Structure 1
Amino acid sequence: MKKRIIALLALLACLLVIISGCGNKTSVAKQANTVDTWSTIQKRGRVIIGLDDTFVPMGFRQKDGNLVGFDIDLAKAVFKQYGIKVDFQTIDWNMKETELRNRTIDLIWNGYTITPARQKQIAFSRPYLANRQVLVTKKDQNINNFKQMKGKTLGVQTSSSGASLLDEHPKVLKNYIKDQSPVMYDSFNNALMDLDANRIQGLLIDSVYANYYIQHEKDPDSYRTYYGGFSGEDFAVGMRKGDKTMKHKINSALQKLANDGELQKIEVKWFGTDHNSLVKPNN
């Protein structure tokens, strides 16, 4: 009888732990959707931005470890208007929405694409930069379109918009590649090294990353980029749905930066042109 009682008590304890955990998750999700944290961020004087620090030229580390990039400059320029310091925190890109929901970070700002799936979980600022997914190959592979990837190995970053598009539209590219399944990478850096070593024959990657990377390689002519059948996409800042004030403040600051020409200067610095901008000066 004692053994039965002990077993029953242990089972009840486990159930309480499970119920408590579910309650905590529900509470965290509810807060993320309802609580406006702008006043808290103002009081502490800093905002925490999560990023993948290998994503050139949006946010990446130089050889000396210094963090630089288009989104780094833009985020600093936005929050300078409100007297708020920006802290950048490297995160596992696969866990970005979880980090945001759990408040380990306040924003996702790192070449972050607006998608319907992501919009169900979080809120976005106005889009500020246009981007596309491109297939990058080495010229000696003689791959000029998606169909010529038939039987070849494709690389893609885990939890990237490219990975989502690959799954959502399999007839465009996925059905051609080896085993109809790509090799997944935590970062594009590792994927590009494997491309150079012919461990993969193609890489589906953001055009802003591909163009910057190739331009800074010793032999840029050894690469080929193909803009296939995937539609264009927009970069925006990701935040919790409850942060309505944050969204308004960021949108207003982006417009002000466009009006005074600062946004265009940042674009020219990192891209050599401002034609990708989605925030235009008010007339």
Structure 2
Amino acid sequence: MLANRRITFTAALTAFAALALAGCGKQEPTTATTATPAPAAARVLVVGTDAAYTPFESQNEKGEIVGFDIEVVKAIAGKAGFEVKFVNTPWEGIFNALDQGDRDLLVSAITITGERRQAMDFSKPYFEARQLIAVRRDAQVASFEDIKAMKVGVQNGTTGDEVVGKLQGKSSGNIKRFESTPLALKELEAGGVQAVVADNGVVEHYLANNPGGGFKTVSDAAFPVEQYGIAVKKGNAELLARINKGLDDIKADGSYDKIYAAHFGGTPK
């Protein structure tokens, strides 16, 4: 994801951050009319997520945000003692929303990168991803290099988009960009593209739920391992520590493994 995924606080919220989330950096003075912050346990933290990346985050038929990432953060919050509210946030503005204080944390299959670490802080990794190539079952494709001259579908702004852009040239007419990976895979099924490159979790979930698609997957050692993390505003050490402790706890008591199995089958690799 998403690499490269898919890679203001109000006065009352800012006042709270200064008192209850020490370490978030900027602390603005309050006035006598500023409302008293709610206790830490009562405050609902706003979580930004781009709900267009099944099975990590998506919206169900009721419009509720669901998915692997959502369940992981809910479980962490339960252990860490805070409440969360998920807000669908377009990928193009998700990092700015965190920086401006409109979101307290982000979970959206966000790949941890050195560049992103300069602008925000990340939890310990909670998911390990890699790129997969999806092609028709009879395609003569054994490596990433084999799709260099093919029409390839990717989700716009993701790691798949980035790596295919490097292989073919970013402005290549053979790269077809979609709003989501499932849309790219539907285009592969229809014959509009010859391959799709995307995160393994998304591709494997789609193939498991569409067994008649006639696809196969191809992995390549050239694809680096990616790690997803939960992002918080730069310097918010108190919140980051609570998230990391909650993540440790759900891994220790088996909760994480149950969530993983429900979405991907088996156990984490």
Same fold at TM > 0.5: yes
Q: Which residue pairs with 1:244 in the alignment? A: 237
**Aligned residue in 1 for 2:144:** 146
Measure the CA separation in 2 of the matches of 1:158 and 1:248. 32
Whether the aligned pair in 1 keeps the contact of 2:99 and 2:233 (CA below 8 Å) is yes
Q: State the one-letter code of the partner of 2:216.
A: R
Mapping of residues 91-130 of structure 1, within 5 Å: 91-130=89-128
Deviation at 1:209, TM superposition (A): 0.7
1:231 to 191, 199, 224: 224
Counterparts of 1:1-283 in structure 2, within 5 Å, are 34-35=25-26, 42=40, 45-167=43-165, 170=166, 173-174=167-168, 179=172, 182-219=175-212, 222-228=214-220, 229-276=222-269
Q: Percent of aligned positions with the same letter in both sequences?
A: 24
Q: How far did residue 104 of structure 1 move?
A: 2.0
Bigger Cα displacement from structure 2, 192-201 vs 179-188: 179-188
Closer, same or farther: CA 224–40 of 1 in aligned 2, 3 Å: farther
Larger radius of gyration, structure 1 or 2? 1
Q: How much does 1:247 deviate?
A: 0.9
Give the structure with the higher percent helix. Answer: 1
CA contact (8 A) 1:132 1:231 kept: yes
Distance 2:108 2:219 in 1: 22
Distance (whole Å) between structure 2 residues aligned to residue 243 and residue 178 of structure 1: 38
Shift of 1:166: 4.1
Contact conserved, 2:121 with 2:234, CA < 8 A, in 1? Answer: yes
Report the Cα distance in structure 2 between the residues aligned to 1:223 and 1:157, rounded to whole angstroms: 18
Q: Which runs of 5+ in 1 are unaligned?
A: 1-30, 277-283
Closer/same/farther in 2, CA of residues 166 and 127 from structure 1, 3 Å limit:
same
Deviation per residue, 1:72-127 (Å, 9 max, x gap): 11111111124422211111112221121122222220211111222222111011
Counterpart amino acid of residue 148 in structure 1: D
Q: What is the deviation of 1:215?
A: 0.2
- Give 1:190 shift: 2.2
CA distance in 2 between partners of 1:164 and 1:211 (Å): 20
Counterpart of 2:64, as a letter, is: N
Counterpart Cα distance in 2 of 1:263 and 1:51? 19
> What do the CA deviations read for 1:49-80 (whole angstroms, capped 9, x no partner)?
11121212111223343332111111111111
8 Å contact from structure 1 (residues 49, 86) kept in 2: yes
Query: Given the superposition, is the C-alpha separation of residues 150 and 261 from structure 1 closer, same or farther in structure 2, using an over 3 Å criterion?
Result: closer
1:165 to 1:148, Cα distance in 2 relative to 1, 3 A: closer
Amino acid at match of 2:263: W
**Distance in 2 of aligned mates of 1:236 and 1:156:** 22
Q: CA deviation at 1:150?
A: 3.4
The number of residue pairs the alignment matches comes to: 239
User: Partner letter of residue 231 of structure 2?
Assistant: G
Contact 1:267–1:274 (8 Å) recurs in 2: yes
Amino acid at match of 1:61: Q
Q: Structure 1 65/140 Cα, relative in aligned 2: closer, same or farther at 3 Å?
A: farther
Q: Which runs of 5+ in 2 are unaligned?
A: 1-17, 28-36
